[in-house]
Amino acid sequence: MSLITVIDYGSGNLRSVAKALESVGGQVVVSQAAEDIQRADRVVLPGVGAFADCYRNLEASGLLEPALQHIETGRPFLGICVGMQLLFTEGHEFGVHRGLDLIPGVVGGFASTMPDSQQPGMNLKVPHMGWNRVDQKKAHPLWAGIPDRSHFYFVHSFFGQPTQQDLVAGSSEYGVEFTAAVAKDNLFATQFHPEKSQKRGLTLLENFIRWSP
């Protein structure tokens, strides 16, 4: 059985992610130790909070380089919520902050992207919180067994905007169309929370456990 390390850098729904992975057969360790990332067959980077704080915490914890080294080896890597946003070139949340630049593009917010023609009465609130359909933009092993336009659970005010559309694995709508998932080589990342998305989310996590990029 392959080992999955959930990176503990002081941010994220660590226990809920770990329990969800365990429920679909994963051997999981939640760790702040670089060696647990280095020996892992698969790594998960969750994240909740502000982009800059999460990046700073990941760097200060000494886990940034081991995470990048894991990705460079071609082993599977899953980002969740801010863990997905950190993969982008930079984040525009309370200023401009550098990201990991693994997915070319920026992380912006709903407030700056809502169209001027937004109809009164839509009552869109930020953060976007709740269940939304996800359109699968391209085939991917992590979508296996998940019908297109399935619902997943979101909690976020910002989202990544890739400059390369072929990296968009899924999109959703909340006033505007936004990126819900990205995929590149051995990277897959979701803006939604699979660990909170019941059957469909657990299927995605089970697919991650089986995935061989």
The residues assigned a catalytic role are 81, 193, 195
CA pair distance 58, 63, nearest whole angstrom: 6
Which residues are registered as beta bridge partners of 181?
170, 190
Task: Give the rounded distance of the alpha carbon of 92 from its chain centre.
Answer: 17
CA pair distance 84, 188, nearest whole angstrom: 8
Give the number of other Cβ atoms within 10 Å of residue 83's Cβ.
Answer: 27
Length of the chain: 213
Closest CA to 42 of 65, 64, 17, 67: 67
Pair of tokens at residue 31: 């760790």
